[in-house]
């Protein structure tokens, strides 16, 4: 069985199991009259104020963008790392090291610029 088929099978099985649990929970529990007050959002007993889904600090958005940039840079390192030993055993060790070292220098420069420009300061 190819791994892809197996993965899809397992994912479908787990999803089915999960929906079964949700369904079982919905039929087994006691049915009571859920009043409007009971259905209110639980915010420490106070009446919920303002919109349900309030505005989100833009900080999280910035973090997500920075994450995507850095994650792509890390993904570039993976094939390099796996091919590294082959290059070293063929005597091209310093070539493969220095070629990625330039990239890592840019990576480090980006990280320090990001820290310097206070993009990572949280209150």
Partner 1 sequence: MDAMYIGIEIIKMVVIFLLMVQLVPILVWIERRGSAFIQNRFGPNRVGPLGLVQLLADAVKFAFKEEFIPGGSYKFLFLLAPVVALIPGVLAFAAIPLGAPFSLEPFEMFGNTWGPYDLKLQGYDYGIGIVFVLGVSSLAAYSLLMAGWGSANKYSLFGALRASAQMISYELGLGLSLVGILLLYGTFSFNEMIAIQDGPLTFMFMGKETIIPFLPNWGIFYQPLGAILFFVSVFAESNRLPFDLPEAEAELVAGYHTEYGGLKMNMFYIGEYGHMMVASALMATFYFGGYNLPFVTPEAINEMFTGMGFAFNGASLMTTLVSHLILMTKVFLFLWIFIWVRWTLPRFRYDQLMDLGWKTILPWALANTVITAFVVVLMRGA
Cα dihedral 9, 12, 16, 17, rounded to 10, equals 60
Q: Is 91 left (phi over 0), alpha (psi -120 to 50) or beta?
A: left
15 binds partner 1 (CB under 8 A): yes
Other beta carbons within 10 angstroms of residue 96's beta carbon come to 17
Q: Kindly state the smallest distance separating residue 97's Cβ from partner 1, in Å.
A: 5
Least distance CB 43 / partner 1 (angstroms): 6
Taking CB under 8 A as the criterion, the residue among 33, 36, 102, 117 binding partner 1 is 36
109 binds partner 1 (CB under 8 A): no
72 binds partner 1 (CB under 8 A): no
């Amino acid at each position: 069985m190819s791994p892809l088929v197996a993965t899809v099978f397992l994912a479908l099985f787990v999803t089915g199991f999960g929906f079964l649990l949700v369904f079982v929970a919905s039929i087994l529990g006691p049915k009571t009259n859920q009043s409007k007050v009971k259905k209110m959002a639980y915010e420490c007993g106070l009446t919920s104020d303002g919109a349900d889904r309030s505005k989100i600090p833009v900080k999280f958005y910035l973090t997500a963008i920075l994450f995507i940039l850095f994650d792509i840079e890390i993904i570039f390192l993976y094939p390099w790392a796996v091919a590294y030993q082959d290059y070293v055993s063929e005597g091209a060790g310093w070539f493969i090291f220095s070629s990625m070292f330039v990239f890592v220098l840019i990576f480090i420069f980006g990280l320090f610029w990001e820290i310097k420009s206070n993009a990572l300061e949280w209150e």
